[in-house]
Amino acid sequence: MAQRLEKIPGGAPTQAMPEDATALARRGRWRSRRVLGGGGTLLFFLLAAILAPVLAPHDPLLPDPAHALAGPSAAYLLGNDEFGRDVLTRLMYGARISLLVSTASIALGVAIGIGAGLVAGYYGALPDLLVMRCADVILAIPPVLLAIAVVAILGPGVLNLILTIAVIYAPRFTRVAYASTRAVRGREYVAAALALGASDRRILARTILPAIIAPLLVQAALALGAAMLLESGLSFIGLGIQAPTPSWGLMVSSARELMAQDPLLVIWPSTVLAVAVLAFNVLGDGVRDLLDPRH
């Protein structure tokens, strides 16, 4: 705990006094609020996505021309799109796509990045050169341009979208894992494991990985929001999720030509997307502060 010295007039400095416990408690509550706020918001979206077949009031794909571009009402709480489909229902089903793509792609990127970073940081030499130079090349290309190029080659679709985003974000986790592995591989507990005859695989999985997992968790939480935003952007330009599947980015794209007639069709999915991305960022900041020993 941080301490401070106080000097009595005419005498030597007194014993160091502990930092104000109230300030520490206040900072701890602020961190907890950010984690709970961001996590609670994301939990709400997750439950809405999982329970969409039960909670959604209408079919997300069934058109109703009689209610095309109808405003909010008791039967359609957020109104209807240009085909008469319920906007609230499509937002709930769109949460499934956004959460699935962002979570699966970042999980795959984390797995690839951690494996590559551990190997490069632990062995050095040729693995270090190959892995880190490949990561540098991918990081040198703007993510949106790289995503457009890869999706244009592979074609649109959920699986290709997941693979594309994973490839884009894996080098970020590779660099974090590499730097952290280099920092801990000379520690005493790693040397002790080597002296006891542990295999390299066991040292990497049981000794080094638990010691470097904290910064990777923070990076993953922050990358989830960016991945969701990238998925929506690709769907917006027609290279992601294809109609009529509900997607927040696709809903914004289809409604942009109708802004003059019904601006709510753009506002609803844009707001939901912004709140979800903000929740991921707040959660990542809160997790970082909780896991940072300097705080």
- What would the pLDDT profile of 105-139 be if each residue is shown by its tens digit? 999 999 999 999 999 988 888 888 999 999 999 99
| 161 domain-assigned | yes
Transcribe 57-125 into DSSP letters: SS-SS---GGGTT----SSSTT-B-TTS-BHHHHHHHHHHHHHHHHHHHHHHHHHHHHHHHHHHHHH-H
- Identify the pLDDT of residue 210: 87
Range of the domain at 42: 31-68+76-291
Partnered with residue 13 across adjacent β-strands are 7
Q: Taking 60 as the threshold, does the pLDDT of residue 6 lie above it?
A: no
The answer to whether the beta carbons of residues 95 and 45 sit under 8 Å apart is yes
pLDDT mean over 210-235:
88
**Position 25 in a domain:** no
Domain presence at residue 7:
no
Domain contains 219: yes
Residue 32: phi and psi, rounded to 5, are: -65, -40
CATH number for 172: 1.10.3720.10
Beta bridge partners of 7: 13
B/e letters for 207-229, b = 16+ CB within 10 Å, e = fewer, are bbbeebebbbebbbbbbbbbbbb
Find the helix or strand (DSSP H, E) in which 171 lies.
Answer: helix 158-184
Examine residue 11 and state whether it is found in any structural domain, yes or no.
no
Statement: residue 11 has pLDDT above 80: no
Instruction: Tell whether 13 is covered by a domain.
Output: no
Q: pLDDT grade, residue 28 (50/70/90)?
A: low
Encode pLDDT of 237-268 as tens digits: 888 888 888 889 889 988 888 888 888 999 99
Indicate the average pLDDT of the chain: 84
Q: Give the count of domains, the chain.
A: 1
| Rounded CA separation 13/193 (Å) | 46
**Position 9 in a domain:** no
- Identify which of 230, 234, 239, 218 has the alpha carbon closest to the alpha carbon of residue 281: 218
Lowest model confidence (mean pLDDT) among 16-20, 74-78, 113-117, 188-192: 16-20
pTM to 2 decimals? 0.82
Residue 276: closest CA among 104, 50, 105, 41 = 41
* CB-based contact 67:76 (threshold 8 Å): yes
Residue 123 domain flag: yes
Token pair 């300030």 in the structure block, residue? 23
